Amino acid sequence: MKITGTFLDEISHDIPHQNWGREEWDRDFAHMKAVGIDTVIMIRSGYRRFITYPSAYLQNEFGCYKPPVDLVEMFLQLAVKHEMKFYFGLYDSGHYWDTGNLIHEIDSNRYVIDEVWKQYGHYKSFGGWYLSMEISRRTKGAVEAFRTLGLQCKGVSGGLPAFISPWIDGKKAVMAASSELSKDDSVSIKEHEREWSEIFDGVRGAVDAVAFQDGHIDYHELDAFFEVNKKMADRYGMKCWTNAETFDRDMPIKFLPIKFEKLRLKLEAAARAGYDKAITFEFSHFMSPQSAYLQAGHLYNRYKEYLKSLNNQ
């Protein structure tokens, strides 16, 4: 299983900002391309008051700060140069995290979707949409938000695909701000299948792919959960991707590049389950040769060796 997509986290909500300009990003796209990445996904176009493009709507309605660089345009242009597809991630107002109700994100994004497509839809690299609201279980307003926004994204763009990347409510599903690494209560496979079958049924036709985050369950649990995820995705007509996290949730420091052995275990489990695509959160911090983390470049080297071994089989 090869990683062919990566998120781009330029809001850097809970990981250090690397303060890159166009030159550094251009180099990073080249590093991505060299290991077979063909898809880049802006994880969110804004979070609360920080935004990635000069949105008149978000500045007026949410008091967002005007960004010094139009990152959406820059990423689209770099994606053209490096022959990649760019997925636009929706805006996160923060209201869901404050209230537990995803309905708020519908109003936050209705105008963003139209605004973005009008400004950037002409780029040939604009390949789809990422519905950036992250959930793990049946959440208030989740089906309505995913369905409404997914259909709007597809409607304005002539049917470009939309995908989601939820997490599994496993034992490592703790908040990033918590000092804990695990919790006592976690979802069973049966509960996971029941709840997500209900969600998938509600968003059928509005969401084209699901990429469950793979870091919240233990390594010996991967096969069982991945098998269920693929079965559900097939049943409801979705592509089944894996979000192969390249940071380590087992370390007391949040977050550092993952040990390659762990990444390999996760990718091999996704291959056994017959997943359609592997994306990662996220190349630039945790896997890039020019990352602020020295270990990331070593992970890149180990991954290149892994790719070579796959090609020699």
φ, ψ for residue 39, nearest 5 deg: -140, 130
Confidence of residue 32 (pLDDT cuts 50, 70, 90): very high
Residue-level pLDDT at 169: 87
State the CATH architecture for 3-117+125-311.
Alpha-Beta Barrel (3.20)
- What is the model's pTM? 0.95
Quote the percentage of the chain above a pLDDT of 70. 96
Residue-level pLDDT at 181: 56
Tokens of 202: 């509600």
> Is-contact 67 53, C-beta < 8 A?
yes
Residue-level pLDDT at 137: 81
Confidence of residue 186 (pLDDT cuts 50, 70, 90): confident
Q: pLDDT tens, 246-277?
A: 999 999 988 999 999 999 999 999 999 999 99
Confidence of residue 170 (pLDDT cuts 50, 70, 90): confident
Average pLDDT over residues 141-170: 96
Residue-level pLDDT at 313: 78
Residue-level pLDDT at 139: 86
> Is-contact 63 108, C-beta < 8 A?
no
For residue 164, give the nearest of 129, 201, 202 by alpha carbon. Answer: 129
Q: pLDDT tens, 277-301?
A: 999 999 999 999 999 999 999 999 9
Residue-level pLDDT at 179: 66
SS3 annotation, the chain: CCEEEEEECCCCCCCCCCCCCHHHHHHHHHHHHHCCCCEEEECCCEECCEECCCCHHHHHHHCCCCCCCCHHHHHHHHHHHCCCEEEEECEECCHHHHHCCCCHHHHHHHHHHHHHHHHHCCCCCEEEEECCCCCCCCCCCHHHHHHHHHHHHHHHCCCCCEEECCECCCCCCCCCCCCCCCCCCCCCHHHHHHHHHHHHHHHECCECEEEEECCCCCHHHHHHHHHHHHHHHHHCCCEEEEECCCEECCCCCCCEECCHHHHHHHHHHHHHCCCCEEEECCHHHHCCCCCCCHHHHHHHHHHHHHHHHHHCC
Confidence of residue 172 (pLDDT cuts 50, 70, 90): confident
255: Cβ contacts below 8 Å, ≥ 6 apart = 14, 15, 176, 247, 248, 249, 286
Evaluate if residue 12 carries a pLDDT over 90: no
